[in-house]
């Protein structure tokens, strides 16, 4: 069975940056299972997997525009510490939900702390980077009606959300 829209796909993968550093991998764990065509994975990887079948192995470099986008300086802001009401201690790397420029919710990460100035970054940590994947297709099956309705694959024993 070939990978196409509305198929449940299982892949083993290793993701590296251009320096060859491993960013993420399914090695030693369960394969990644996703619903093809439902934007569960980045567009560039999904395109590369289209038409593949069990046993196929591929290496694909995904440019930022088909991954997490270009890095945007507009998504970096310096806020006053008072904006973090109820949080006793702020630390670099902490993440918070915030209103994005389009009015929707986004996750921001604290990048710097200097006095009462808190620098937050709304870019995805991998924005602006080419992502290099080594992938092996492990399984392809029809997604069930519930998975199609929810737009993602459910784990063993039903869904957990």
Nearest Cα neighbor of 1 from 148, 156, 143 is 143
* Token couple for 133: 């994947």
Specify the domain boundaries for CATH 3.10.50.40 within the chain.
Answer: 7-68+129-150
CATH architecture label of 7-68+129-150: Roll (3.10)
- Rounded to an integer, what distance in angstroms lies between the CA atom of residue 142 and that of residue 135? 20
Of the chain, the percentage scoring pLDDT greater than 90 comes to 86
Report CA torsion sign: 29, 60, 43, 20. positive
Q: What is the pLDDT of residue 157?
A: 41
H/E run at residue 64: none
What's 73-121's CATH class? Answer: mainly beta
- Over the stretch 99-131, which tens digit does the pLDDT of each residue have? 776 778 889 999 999 999 999 999 999 999 999
Question: Reduced to 3 states, what is the DSSP secondary structure of residue 62?
Answer: strand
pLDDT at 53 over 50: yes
pLDDT of residue 92: 96
> pLDDT digits over 57-106, tens only?
999 999 999 999 999 999 999 999 999 988 989 999 999 998 776 778 88
Q: Where in the chain is the domain with CATH 2.40.10.330?
A: 73-121
């Amino acid at each position: 069975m070939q990978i196409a829209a509305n198929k449940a796909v299982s892949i083993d993968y290793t993701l590296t940056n251009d320096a060859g550093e491993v960013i993420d991998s399914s090695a030693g764990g369960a394969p990644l299972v996703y619903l093809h065509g439902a934007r569960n994975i980045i567009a560039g990887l999904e395109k590369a997997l289209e038409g593949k079948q069990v046993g196929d192995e591929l290496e694909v470099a995904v440019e930022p525009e088909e991954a997490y986008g270009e890095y945007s300086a507009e998504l970096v802001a310096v806020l006053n510490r008072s904006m973090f009401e109820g949080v006793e201690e702020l630390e670099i790397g902490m993440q918070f939900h915030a209103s994005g420029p389009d009015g929707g919710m986004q996750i921001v990460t604290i990048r710097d702390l200097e006095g009462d100035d808190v620098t937050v970054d709304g870019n995805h940590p991998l924005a602006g980077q080419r992502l290099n994947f080594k992938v092996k297709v492990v399984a392809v099956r029809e997604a069930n009606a519930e998975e199609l309705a929810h737009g993602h694959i459910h784990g063993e024993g039903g869904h957990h959300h």
